[in-house]
Amino acid sequence: MADYDERNHERSCCPIACALDHLGDKWTLLIIRDLLLGKKRYQEFLESPEQIATNILANRLKKLEAAGLLTQQVYQKKPIRYEYVLTAKGEDLRMVLQTLAEWGRTYYPGTKVFTAHV
């Protein structure tokens, strides 16, 4: 499984660098956003307007679980299917995403925050 390895990256002892080791790409935080908005299932993530590719989604879900940001929960056996739910660590990114969304709204006019459908 060369596609997903779990080393300790830790480029430095800076909390921002550590955070970016796990979150620093174009897709990971969008999945967290979806989870914070109440999405739970593979298909729901695929339906987001950014159109993530299936292999990247599968890869990020694994990495997020390995990083302790979410857990899988079985919602059906035969065939086994999972829902993805945020851990406290993942939930605590809500403020980060809110602040980032605020910045984005300010500097990219025309963008709109999606609201939770819960």
The contact set with DNA (CB under 7 A) reads: 2-3, 25-27, 41-43, 51-56, 58-59, 61, 78-79, 81-82
93 binds a second copy (CB under 8 A): yes
Pick what 13 binds: DNA, a second copy, none; C-beta below 5 to 8 Å, kind-dependent. Answer: a second copy
Per-residue x/- track, 24-63, a second copy (CB under 8 A): xxxx-xx--x--------------xxxx------------
Q: Which residues pair with 73 in a beta bridge?
A: 83
Is residue 116 at the binding interface for a second copy, with CB under 8 A as the rule? no
DSSP state of 85: E
Nearest to 97 by CA among 29, 21, 17, 38: 29
- In a 13 Å sphere around the CA of 80, the CA atoms on its Cβ side amount to 3
Residue whose CB is less far from a second copy, 11 or 78? 11
Cβ contact 32:47 at 8 Å: no
By C-beta, is 3 or 109 nearer to DNA? 3
Which of helix, strand or coil describes residue 70? strand
Select the span of 8-16, 39-47, 55-63, 75-83 touching a second copy (CB under 8 A): 8-16
Q: Which two tokens stand for residue 58?
A: 């599968």
Are 64 and 17 in contact, with CB atoms under 8 Å apart? no
